[in-house]
Structure 1
Amino acid sequence: MEEQYTISDPRVLKAVAHPLRVRLLGLLRGDGPATASELGRKVGESSGSTSYHLRELFKYGFIEEDADQRDGRERRWRARHRYTSWDAVELSASAEGREALRIIHLRQAEMVGRVMEEYGQAGWSEEWADVSGMSDHLLTLPPAALREFKDRAEELLRDLVARHAGDPGARKVHVWLGAVPRTSQEEES
């Protein structure tokens, strides 16, 4: 799997920003290859609907068929990239790009909201409850300081992943400015 897919075309960003496509791509990245039927069961959609949206993700280069794990007559799909990024400066130069950015940012916020709704302190160990949650900071910083923060946070995350690879206590977590473990419902789906 490639590390990153960088989008410069607002139409491509709008295509991936569809609510169901965001979820399907996230599941393929987080849980690995799956068929349209398997994904449909996870998201509560018909396999016809998920098939259509998977074909759209394929058309724009986000996913590919997993030929190594073909499931009889049904295609298995896998994500081509670990992350999607875009050049906000380039995209915000046009009205279409600004609209695409608005839509993708709304989808990101919806996803954070969905994960936080599914997360609850009950049922998690004290250790996980202690480190989970969200932070809200109101700071005064110039763009260069925010860039430094983003770059250093990314570097720190890469370092932590590498140092804790194989740790039996590790589990997938959602990380934004805060982090929460994936819900048991997501793990079982």
Structure 2
Amino acid sequence: MQKQKKSRVKLLHQYYKYTGFYSFIWDNTKKALLPLAIIIGILLYINYKVMSINDMLLYVTKNFSDFSIFSLFLVSESFLGLLPPDIFIAWTKNTDSPLLYLAILAVLSYAGGVFSYYKGRTLLLVPKINNYLEGKMTKHIKNMQKWGGFLIAVGALLPLPFAMACLAAGMIKFPQKQFYIFASLRVFRFVIYGYAIYSALS
């Protein structure tokens, strides 16, 4: 039994290597690192030249309602991740209940992915939109057909477009139960990044 299990893992490894899964992850991670580095650079510049990041986050906390910030985050996570989640994670550090707020962000991000998934399934029913999206997202759809749940997992955990992966999953009608399981890994991203950002801001 143990030998059979190992051979299956080896076959999967060969398949993902042959179809370019690993190179896809590496290439997209490199692309994601540049915007992330730019954001960090801007934040560091603001921190040392304009105003302390902690002071800025305190300002946001005092002048904007929790509901408005959570709503903005949900919209961003539902429409192709327009804003980096890391900014919102940093914001939770200065709230009255950081871990509770971080947990809410994780749930909202997951909900945004689920919304994108069902958006992908629903838009297929409108021929013109379906044709437009299929043209725009041909590469993502092909990748989802090749790698399925693993692509969702990668989008959930790494700094890659999570909403885009969920949208593509919906468009190919990826099984719902499996989607829920793979997408739930999004929560771990917030745990890991939350720890890192909280440590940096301490």
Question: Quick check: which one's helix share is greater?
Answer: 2
**TM-score, normalized by the shorter chain, greater than 0.5:** no
TM-score, normalised on structure 2? 0.24
Question: Quick check: which one's strand share is greater?
Answer: 1
TM-score, normalised on structure 1? 0.26
Who wins on radius of gyration, i.e. which is larger? 2
